[in-house]
Amino acid sequence: EEIGTVEYWTRPELEGSRTKALFTTAREREKLVLQLGVGDAATALSAAQVVARDVAAFDINCGCPKHFSLSGGMGAALLKRPETIADIVKTLKRNLPLPVSCKIRLLDTEEQTVSLMQTLEKAGVDALSVHCRYVPQRSRTPAHQHMLGPLVRCVGVPVIGNGDVKTYREGREWVQS
């Protein structure tokens, strides 16, 4: 039986050997959001164009605090360059017919986080995900869930809260708080 799968493989010259990078089926394509770890608009567009027919949306990872991402100018390193994130969003929106979201972390102040969120909204982002921790914090530090409410109210796009929700009940309690 043919299930209509699409497989993407890394290029051997980039990785040293071929490894499967993405596997999807026709039924999944309408639901699959691909998170991009990129540091500039040209790279984002190049990567997105490869898989655009096989995903439903793109998410720009602006929150990863790992050394690999930071040293490559990706993930949380982008939080220091809001204009670059906005350029990535605008470039993807201008060139591809798919929704674009961004995952961010809390900045040093609420005002800085609000400013970033509003900048991304003006750039055309379709949704934002806020990991309610600061860049240096890891999962052993409780998420600052109480900070999400004011952030949600500062923009008109959907905002997804992230951090320390392990059950449906915890999620409902957070939304209602």
Instruction: Answer whether 77's CB lies under 8 Å from 103's CB.
Output: no
3-state secondary structure of 110: helix
pLDDT tens-digit profile of 44-101? 999 999 889 889 999 999 999 999 999 999 999 999 999 999 999 999 999 999 999 9
Q: Of 64, 102, 132, 154, which is the active-site residue? A: 64
The string of DSSP codes covering 42-109 is HHHHHHHHHHGGG-SEEEEE----SHHHHHTT-GGGGGG-HHHHHHHHHHHHHH-SS-EEEEEEE-SS
For 130-163, how does the pLDDT look when each residue is reduced to its tens digit (9 = 90+)?
999 999 998 889 999 999 999 999 999 999 999 9
In the chain the domains, ranked by start, together with CATH numbers, are: 1-31 (no CATH), 36-176 (3.20.20.70)
Told to judge if 64 belongs to the known catalytic residues of this protein, a careful annotator would answer: yes
What's the rounded Cα separation, in Å, for the pair 166 and 76?
23
SS3 8: strand
pLDDT in tens, 2-61: 455 555 555 555 555 555 556 677 777 888 899 999 999 999 999 999 889 889 999 999
